[in-house]
Amino acid sequence: MSSTEEANKRLRKLIRDSSTTIEEFRTALDAALEKRRNSMTFIAKRNANGLDLLASAVLHHRSDILDALLSHFSCDTAPLPLAYLAAQVGFEDSITVLSSHFINPNRLNTDGHTALWLAVKHRSVNLVSALLAAGASPLAGKQTAIDKAIARNERELLNIMLTESLPCYRAELLVRFGAKGNLKMMKVILQTKDCVNIRDKNGHTPLFNLAHGNARAAAQLLLDHGADPNVTTHSGMTPLHVAVRIGALGMATALIKNGANINAACSSGLRPIHMAASSGKTKGVVLLNQHKANLVAKTPDGMMATDFAIEAGHQKLAEFIVHCIIKRCKHAKDNMYGESMPYMCATSPGYKGALSVASPPSAPVISEVAEVDQEGDREAIEA
């Protein structure tokens, strides 16, 4: 047996001995490491059972020794994740120590399960709370901890995960349950509102994701609990952008009623009216027009809603937009258009360009526009 193996064995013996003080162990550890250049290799050396010194400390419930070892080698390299081993032996105190040294609590075992999943399986309230405080995700793994709790009808554990998980995970849960129409679960999560406007790695809030999926009831619940409809993605998109693009009229209406900026421009200059026009969503254009959206707003490269409609092959929709612009000008012919008074007048440089789309709009279009003005939410033009 080499000197390294002998030193490693002596330390394991000290870990197994419950009478060993932390001072005794530190002295022995410092002496062993002083003779070796690579503390990582020494501490991570595994025994016949595949356990390194860190795992031995967890196995024998020695959080003080675990802390001492992690101060020299803060890494989880053994086949069995340290957090999973801690959950396996019911050693919740070690979870806090592992977290203080930034050991990942979500590392999967060879079967694809997390420590939190195992804690739910063991019905351990204390372990579940400790893991959540350490940053454990209830949505990680082959079978998530949330799914495990639901499958076993573990209501107490489920409630703990819905309320004590990190805000980023609760935001993800809002989207998951909202997409399924499970408002009951959403209401439990929303008992603490710090997750309602959290953005994911793509910059999407729960409201943005639910708007994209046209989950109107779930989105309204978020709005009722303080969701901000004007939080943007990394590219500057808002939930209203995506709602009008997919033709979700009810969703768009709810967003506008709750303060969505109808003229919000993303980083490329696109506004909701541009999105509705380019995707041929007449109902969306009608809704935006009714709420006085700027119909002649231009992107940085000079594109207006009419341009987007024509470019996408929606000629009738372009004519409809021009008709709306002309109709507004009749009511405010002396005003220049802008964000607060978005009218385009005969003196505007863009007026003649808009008229060139259709001057005047064809008779069928005018009659269809009249019907839209009366009913508000009726499909006016087949684009």
For residue range 34-70, list pLDDT tens digits in order: 888 788 889 999 988 889 999 999 999 999 999 999 9
Closest C-alpha to 165, from 113, 220, 120, 230: 120
Closest C-alpha to 327, from 299, 292, 300, 376: 292
**pLDDT for position 332:** 52
76-92: per-residue pLDDT in tens? Answer: 988 899 999 999 999 99
Which amino acid does the sequence have at 60?
A: H
Closest C-alpha to 115, from 134, 77, 97, 100: 134
The phi, psi pair for 40, rounded to 5°, reads -60, -50
Q: In terms of pLDDT, which residue wins out, 44 or 255?
A: 255
The radius of gyration of the chain's CA atoms, rounded to the nearest angstrom, is 31
Handedness of CA 317, 321, 326, 330 (dihedral sign): positive
Query: CA 239 to CA 252: how far, in whole Å?
Result: 8
Query: CA 95 to CA 194: how far, in whole Å?
Result: 24
The phi, psi pair for 252, rounded to 5°, reads -60, -40
Confidence of residue 331 (pLDDT cuts 50, 70, 90): low
332-365: per-residue pLDDT in tens? Answer: 544 444 443 443 444 344 444 444 444 444 333 3
**pLDDT for position 31:** 92
196-246: per-residue pLDDT in tens? Answer: 999 999 999 999 999 999 999 999 999 999 999 999 999 999 999 999 999
156-206: per-residue pLDDT in tens? Answer: 999 999 999 999 999 999 999 999 999 999 999 999 889 999 999 999 999
Q: Is the pLDDT of residue 72 over 80?
A: yes
Q: Kindly write down the DSSP assignment for every residue of 27-63, as one continuous string.
A: HHHHHHHHT-S-HHHHHT---TTS--HHHHHHHTT-H
Q: What is the CATH number of domain 262-383?
A: 1.25.40.20
Reduce the DSSP state of residue 271 to 3 states and report it.
coil
Label residue 43 left, alpha or beta by phi (over 0 means left) and psi (-120 to 50 means alpha): alpha
Q: Where are the domains of the chain?
A: 262-383
13-28: per-residue pLDDT in tens? Answer: 999 999 999 999 999 9
Q: Could you tell me if 87 and 46 are in contact, meaning their C-beta atoms sit under 8 angstroms apart?
A: no
Residues 63/66/70/73 CA torsion (nearest 10 deg)? -170
Closest C-alpha to 127, from 152, 102, 161: 161
Residues constituting the chain? 383
Q: Could you tell me if 64 and 100 are in contact, meaning their C-beta atoms sit under 8 angstroms apart?
A: no
